[in-house]
Structure 1
């Protein structure tokens, strides 16, 4: 008996940008309502970004927001995307995330990263140039704290001696840890050696396929089992822009305003290959990007089919609520996707006598 095909999973990404036509409270409450609906509609995960000091992201603590989402939901996985490790004491972050895992009854995914915005570091009087070394120490401590009852660690930044960690997470080996992978191959190799899952941003499909193959080979060479590696990759995903409407023309028109505002606000670095400091955003080029799923259900299905064939990755993280999209528009897109797109990819597992 050979399995032909594999069900895909679909998550949602939340940056919680406060556009000029929304208040902070409205945006944050809209996001929680969307996550509650996503749980009811069968989405696999909701991923929450963490930022400060800029309007394009106003969740300064993923643990707090995830706790609220956990209390409102029953089945959906809840992930941080990402918790910026150098801006937290790692032991305190581990304790907070273990508490989220308890509140959610074992539904936490812990995404970690360094943070890329110097302004966010300056706001907290943290040294931006030390973020890489501090990140590495913090990741070691967080991993140890979530997997063990007691932490002892001596490093450049932290000295922790025989500290018990409470509460213990519900997930027996600790929540799965995900790392944000950049265009550099070293980041995917390091994730593989550490046994962590990964999240990909705006790289092309051929590079995505390359990185997945590199992850698998590096993980196996480091001594991890084939089963462990398969599970880690199955959890991993890639972030894609997404909006669904009855027609492609309607979807493209609806998504444009919020996207363009967001891109104009987030001008501190190029984004997803569709914006530059010199040219701004070319919306027509954006719509043709491999990282864009904007259109009718039929078009989005075709685009996902191509993505799956070209990457081999079965998990997609959808960015529907970008730049303060109108709430009713996002909810409608979520429903159309769950009713007309998702079933095409979640009923594929069949068997054959081969």
Structure 2
């Protein structure tokens, strides 16, 4: 069982974004000391939900501060990036870190980012396959060229060349089918429970035409440990809505489409009920339950839910000392 930390660089009210970024790097350092296998950094633009606009940049800082732990992006938004540029940055981190970097990518959403970065709604709606294929070419070949709808250029060498396989965030049947057709592992989000995760894995296997055993898939979950389950749940119920209410409002559609309302307290209750939130015994139980229900062997735990940096570090250390050894055992 592989267990990592998932760091959103959450912009809780009253927290200065620059300090949040510094704290995020420190959390990776502490995760390495606590025995976690990997750390994953999220990317968001123009919002307080997450204040890191370049996951690859912050991953590079974290890799420079650590020696053993793997660091990945969860995820770099491919719809607002040139795939070859992203592949070049991934190659730098792969070589400079001695192979400790993992690139996670996602389609993103129909947000104002598309307008700001000039890629447009068409790139989001129709261009993900082309973008992903070009990214994979640039991550696995010595040269790359393109002659598609969104990218067209002559053959150029990839310097430095890398041999990397990205992981793909999958939140829709279409993206699951795209990842399966290319044999790429999935990153599953916190918003679905074990039964839905198992269903997505079955859909992937059907699309791939192969066995249901997951080829390196990862699932994200909230991870929060306290002396008692009641205490852990109380902390998240008090803290997370203060972050999620303004943070989720930062998703601004580029085309004026209406976003469905989110029941934030209900969502927090769902996270507390279905994820490893509670006493050490409860956290172990929930992680093993997810592994049994889904067959997944790799979870990444969002550890920032209490909204205070010192509590985040305490959470990471306690998970490392009181939960990880029992899960692995």
1:26 correspondence with 2:9:
no
Runs of 5+ in structure 1 lacking a partner? 1-7, 270-275, 348-354
Determine the structure 1 residue equivalent to 2:40.
Answer: 47
Q: Secondary structure at the match of 1:206?
A: helix
Question: Does the Cα contact within 8 Å between 1:11 and 1:316 map onto a contact in 2?
Answer: yes
Q: Residue 273 of structure 1 corresponds to which residue in structure 2?
A: none
Query: Following the alignment from structure 1 to structure 2, what is the Cα–Cα distance between the partners of residues 208 and 188?
Result: 12
The counterpart of 1:298, out of the listed 278, 281, 284, is 281
Determine the C-alpha separation between the residues in 2 that align with 1:24 and 1:94: 27
Task: Give 1:129 shift.
Answer: 3.8
Shift of 1:97: 0.9
Single out whichever of 113-122 and 55-64 deviates more from structure 2: 113-122
Instruction: String of CA shifts for 1:2-37, please: whole Å, max 9, x gaps.
Output: xxxxxx111111111222221111100111001011
SS in 1 for 2:112: helix
Deviation for aligned residue 1:122: 2.6
Task: Determine the C-alpha separation between the residues in 2 that align with 1:72 and 1:162.
Answer: 36
Q: Is the 8 A contact 2:13 2:243 kept in 1?
A: no
Q: Does 1:237 pair with 2:218?
A: yes
Residue 128 (structure 2) aligns with: 135
Partners of 2:18 and 2:272 in 1: CA distance: 34
RMSD: 2.1
CA distance in 2, matches of 1:278, 1:217: 32
Establish whether residue 96 from structure 1 lines up as the match of residue 89 from structure 2.
Answer: yes
State the alpha-carbon separation in 2 of the partners of residues 112 and 189 from structure 1: 15
- The 3-state SS of whatever aligns with 1:235 is coil
- How far did 1:303 drift? 1.7
Q: Please give the secondary structure, in 2, of the residue aligned with 1:163.
A: strand
- Alpha-carbon contact 2:194-2:293 (below 8 Å) kept: yes
Distance 2:215 2:178 in 1: 18
Q: 2:115 aligns with which of 117, 122, 133?
A: 122
Match of 1:194 in 2: 182
2:247 is the counterpart of 1:254 = no
Paired with 1:278 and 1:67, the residues of 2 have a C-alpha distance of 34
Q: Distance in 2 between matches of 1:263 and 1:27?
A: 16
Task: Write out aligned runs for 1:146-165 (5 A).
Answer: 146-165=139-158
Using a 3 Å threshold, how does the CA distance of structure 1 residues 178 and 241 change in structure 2: closer, same or farther? same
Partner of 1:332: 314
- Secondary structure (helix, strand or coil) at the match of 1:240 reads strand
Match of 1:282 among 266, 271, 274: 266
The answer to whether the 8 A contact 1:51-1:120 is kept is no
SS in 1 for 2:76: strand
Equivalenced residues, count: 319
Q: Which residue does 2:169 correspond to in 1?
A: 180
Unaligned runs of 5+ in 2: 252-259
Pairwise CA distance, 1:209: 1.5
TM-score, structure 1 normalization: 0.84
Secondary structure of the equivalent of 1:118?
coil
